[in-house]
Amino acid sequence: MRWSAVARSNCCAISSRAEPSLVSAPLASLPNGDTGAPNGLSIQFSEVEKRYGMRLALRGVTLAIAAGECVALVGHNGSGKTTLLKIAAQLTRPSRGNIAFYAGQNPISLEEVKSRVGMVGHHTLLYEELTAEENLIFFGKLFGLRNPADKARRALQPVGLAGRATDLVRTFSRGMRQRLSIARALLGSPGLLLLDEAGTGLDPEGQQWLGAATKRLRDSGCTILMSTHGRNETQGAVTRAIRLDVGKITHDSGAGGDPNEVLVMAAVRDTGEEGAS
């Protein structure tokens, strides 16, 4: 039956299938999930600098992110947001300075951190020639999850892709791929979630879902670091906003402060720039 589903998806055009509506099902539970006890990781960036050839993407960034914070990174393209996220994901090493992770008071080794981090990047990070389910099972196995097949199926529910589990990702629309990408990031119940403009490609319903999901994750203690353009649905969940410009932090609303000031500032600046150019 799986074979025929795959064969079918090879023939059907993307547009012939209606976008399934999102079910607001509860997310896969996180460890210590609903007790409210923070299980999120905290991060310390110390004088982090990243150089790509001649270009300095980040210059001397020192930043401490506490467990359970939901931090929005705002700034123009090229300001260093993606680079900062990549360093947090350990996809790239800082040219200077370093990064350290902690669970509560205890430092965690960089290798161990990887299994507790989920990331949604600029690209979907998905294999086109595999089905949605196969993609999740594959990554689940690599992350060392027990019972990956079961977890994969359950992860497809909240993003509304349960009905397309056995279809090749190649047949998915942009929005569906993005949702699958998010499901993949959440698969291992991460203590640190990195979102690089995760709302891109999602329709308004999807954006709303993402906003609600972010809030729920934050409430259950997960640390979230996300790059946004400052004007979207996930704003409600944000506890702290940091503005980056040409690789440096220009504004930080701080751990207890009001993130909206920074978010509004970013929006105005962006609009101003767009108007001027």
Partner 1 sequence: MNLARATGVILAKELRTEFRSRELLGTTVVFVLIVIVLFSFTFNPTSSESRRFGPGLLWLAFLFAGSLMLQSSFLREQTNDTLAALRLAPIEPFSILAGKMAANFLFLLLVELILLPVFAVLYNVAVLPVLGPLLLVFALGTVGLAATGTVFSAVAAQARLRELLLPLLLLPVLAPVLVASTEATIGILRDPSELSSVWLTFLACFDVVFLTAAWMVGEYLLEE
Partner 2 sequence: MASEAQPGTASRAAISAPMVLVVFLLLAAASYGALIWAPTENTMGLVQRIFYFHVSCAWTGFVSFLLVFIGSVAYLRTRALKWDWLGVASAEVGVAFFTIVLVTGPIWAKPVWGIWWTWDARLTSSFLLWVLFVSYLILRTLVEEPERRAMVSAVFGIFAALDIPLVYFSIWWFRTQHPQPVIGDGGSLDPRMGWVLLLCWAAMLGVMSVLIRLRYRLEALRSEVDAYRIETARSGR
Order of all β-strands in the sheet with 248-252:
117-120, 192-196, 223-227, 70-74, 240-245, 248-252
Name which of partner 1, partner 2, none residue 95 binds, using a CB cut-off of 5 to 8 Å depending on partner kind.
partner 2
| φ and ψ at residue 260, rounded to 5 degrees | -65, -30
CA distance 161 to 133: 9
| Residue 52, CA atoms < 13 Å, CB-side half-sphere | 8
Stretch that binds partner 1, among 96-104, 121-129, 202-210, 224-232 (CB under 8 A): 121-129
Positive or negative torsion for Cα 220, 118, 97, 243: negative
Shortest gap between Cβ of 3 and partner 1 (angstroms)? Answer: 11
**Binding-residue pattern over the window 136 to 175 for partner 1, x denoting contact by CB under 8 A:** --xx-xxxx-------------------------------
CA distance 173 to 179: 10
| Closer of 98 and 271 to partner 2 (Cβ) | 98
Query: CA separation (Å) from 47 to 58, 62, 99, 250?
Result: 9, 5, 9, 15
By CB under 8 A, residue 127 contacts partner 1? yes
By CB under 8 A, residue 80 contacts partner 1? no
By CB under 8 A, residue 14 contacts partner 1? no
**Binding-residue pattern over the window 178 to 207 for partner 1, x denoting contact by CB under 8 A:** ------x-----------------------
Shortest gap between Cβ of 178 and partner 1 (angstroms)? Answer: 12
- The residue ranges that bind partner 2 (CB under 8 A) are 49, 51-56, 59, 93-96, 246
Name which of partner 2, partner 1, none residue 112 binds, using a CB cut-off of 5 to 8 Å depending on partner kind.
partner 1
**118, 186 in Cβ contact below 8 A?**
yes
Name which of partner 1, partner 2, none residue 59 binds, using a CB cut-off of 5 to 8 Å depending on partner kind.
partner 2
**73, 101 in Cβ contact below 8 A?**
no
By CB under 8 A, residue 37 contacts partner 1? no
Partners of 99 in beta bridges: 45
By CB under 8 A, residue 227 contacts partner 1? no
